[in-house]
Each structure stands twice: as C-alpha cells, then as structure tokens.
Amino acid sequence: MSAAASTTPRRRVLQALAHQRPDRVPRDLGGTTATGINIMAYRNLVAYLGLNEEVTLWSERVRLANISETLLQRFKSDTRPVIAGGSFGVGEPNPDGTFTDAYGLVRALPDEIGHWQVIRSPLAGEISQQVLQVAAKTWPDPADPVYTQGVGELARKLHEETDYAVILNLPLGSIHLAQWLRGMDLWLMDLVSDPELSIYFLDLLLERWFEVTRRLLAAVGRHVDVLFFAEDIAFHNGPMVSPRMYEKIIHPYQRRIFRALHDWSDAKIIYHNCGSVTWQINDLIEMGVDALNPVQVTSYDMGDTAALKKRFGERLTFWGGIDTGEVLPRGTPADVQAEVRRRVRDLHQDGGYVLASVHNIQADVSPENICAMWEAADGLGA
C-alpha cells in the first residue's frame, strides 16, 4: 500500500501542522466553533441535498447546527470536535424575550439569521478592584463538573474508534469575557485610563479560565490532537489596541496562556483571531502557536495569501481562508471554486494549510455555494 493510500485524516492534519505536504490539503468543517454552519444555512443545505435528517442546534449562542456524520463524510472533513459542556448556552429567559446567563450578561437575538448579542453588561458602571472582587464571587464555579461532563469519554471514543483529527475547543479567552462584562467601549477606555485595573480584571478571569482548562485537559488526556483557542484582539483594519498597550497588557497575558497549554498538553495549538492580524503573527509564532485561524482575507493586509505564505508559511500553518464576507454569500458557484483554487494554490505549498471557511458559514450562504466549496477541493485532488 502506498503512503498516500494509507494516510488517515488525523495524519493529514498533523502533517499540515508539521509543514509536511500531505496527500491532499486537509479540510475542516465543524471541527471548531469558528468553522461550522449557521442553523438556517444548514437547514437549506439538508433540503437541497434531499437528506432525511433532523436539524438541531450545536450552539444556541452562535446558532451553529449539529453537522451530521453523513455530511461530514460527504465533504471529507478531516476533523471532529470536542467542546466543554455548558459553553454555548444563553442563560435563563426574561419576560422581554432576552436571556441572562450565569455571569449576568443579558443577550438578545436580533433576527433569525444572526446570533445572540450582549445588550447589557453587568459591569458597565464604575469599577474598582473591590467591585471586581465582589463580582467574581458571583461568577460560575470553574470546578463545576458541567464543563467536563462527557468530554473525556467523547475524546477517547473519537481518538480510539475513528481516525479523524480530534480538536478540543477551549473556553473563550478572558479578553472576550472582559469585553462582554464591561462593554467593549468601556473595556477599551479602561486600558488607557487605568491599565493596572485592566490587568487585574484579566488576571481574575484568567485564573478561572486556567482552572476550567486544566480540568478539561486532564479529562481528555492524550486523546486530542489539536487545541482551539479563540480570542479577538484585532479589527478589520488593524490591531484593537496600540502597540504599547499590546506589549504592556495583551502580550504578557497571551504568553501565559500559550505557555500553560504547552506545559499541560502535547497537542498542537490553533489560535483564532479575526480581522487584520499580520502585525501579531511573529509574536504568535514566538509564543508557540502552530496555526492561525480564520485568515480573514477581506481584512487589511490579509488578502494576498501568497505573500502571507511567503512571509510566515515556514513557521505557521494557515487554517481557513475561504471568504465568507463576499465570495461565499454573494458569489456564484464558479466564483467559489475560483476562490478555493486560489487559496489552495497560495497556501498549500509544502503543507501548512487546512482548508476551511473564514469563520462560520452564515445564513445567507446558499447550499449551491457550500457544495461548490468542497467540490472544488475534490476537483483539485485536494
């Protein structure tokens, strides 16, 4: 049997992460919380393909569908997900149709095609270390068994009984949670007006994140191949904070995270940061990140994927890159196929690329275009 014939999906993904060229470009559909399909797009896809299956939610908060094994195999996804319990709820209902979660965040669903948005932040008033200490006593217990319930058994089953790359989706980072608890505008202002308080706030949240993550990694043991960590610190046109603020607050915080993950696990690390992120890539590589997701090609300095590969491709794997901003929702199937051919041509040289959409496939993407994306990969022998 040839080496190509004996390649498994797990080996294919790990080869890409090791910058070895696999038999074809690996594919990720639904392996992470940023590479799934919106429930409405999925419902349309199931109807289009004439499948007789129940359509259910995997994530209420971001409105992601449970993707059936039938479709994962049809589109040749090389990944399968594991996720902490309790990660995707929106809380308890209020009389006005909003929901309040265990942190006191109030969310609303603006329309059927969107996902739940934070509309009221519990720490939007005056804060101090004392206020944060009191608030922290009300936050969910990081030792709550809900976070690890069923996680170890699922990881073991996927790793021992299938040959797919198993991805553990870690809890969202503390920056995300701080932005929600405080409100984005106030969180950004705090960084300037009281950086020491901002660091204290992140530290409180990070200790909780560490506790949950330690328990998750203990539960899954060696039965996961990749860790997925998501935390946006960029906008569409550049960094979310100044270089000085990044160096003082964000970089040390993230260094602690990635060092801890390397200490606790041998799995590879995918870091998810939307937007324009070329300014951060060298730091990510130095901190031990193996792959960058989602490669948001419509953002500033991200569209020339051949240049990205040339600059960083020997040291970083790119994971994503198929445009969900313009091409998938508004292009023709021919446009989608051309997009796939371009990104594979640019990024798959000598390995170091996993084919996926730029973030989740949204409700306005047609089933024809979803199929065209994966059919294009088939046509490339990819």
Nearest Cα neighbor of 276 from 338, 325, 227 is 325
Cα separation, 380 vs 345, in Å, equals 10
Strand partners, 64: 38, 59
For the chain, give the mean pLDDT.
Answer: 95
Token pair for residue 147?
Answer: 């976070």
The confidence band for 2, taking pLDDT boundaries of 50, 70 and 90, is very low
Residue 4 predicted with pLDDT over 70: no
List pLDDT tens digits, range 259-293. Answer: 999 999 999 999 999 999 999 999 999 999 999 99
H-helix segments, 166-304? 174-182, 184-193, 195-220, 243-245, 251-264, 281-287
The structural domains of the chain, ordered by start, are 3-90+123-379 (3.20.20.210)
d(CA 88, CA 64): 10
Q: What is the pLDDT of residues 79-102, one digit of tens each?
A: 999 998 876 778 999 999 999 999
Would you put residue 69 in left (φ > 0), alpha (ψ -120 to 50) or beta? Answer: alpha
pLDDT, tens digit, for every residue of 46-78?
A: 999 999 999 999 988 889 999 999 999 999 999
Q: What value does the mean pLDDT take over residues 242-250?
A: 95
pLDDT tens track for 317-376: 999 999 999 999 999 999 999 999 999 999 998 899 999 999 999 999 999 999 999 999
Strand 226-230 and strand 165-169: the pairing is parallel
The tokens of 143 are what? 């030792």
347, 330, 250: which is closest to 295 by C-alpha?
Answer: 347
Which residues are registered as beta bridge partners of 322? 357
Answer for the pair 345, 377: CB distance below 8 angstroms, yes or no.
no
The string of pLDDT tens digits covering residues 26-48 is 999 999 999 999 999 999 999 99
Q: Which helix (H) or strand (E) holds 246?
A: none
Model-level pTM?
A: 0.96
Beta-sheet strands, E only, within the chain: 57-59, 64-65, 79-83, 92-93, 99-100, 106-108, 117-120, 165-169, 226-230, 234-235, 238-239, 268-272, 291-293, 317-322, 353-357
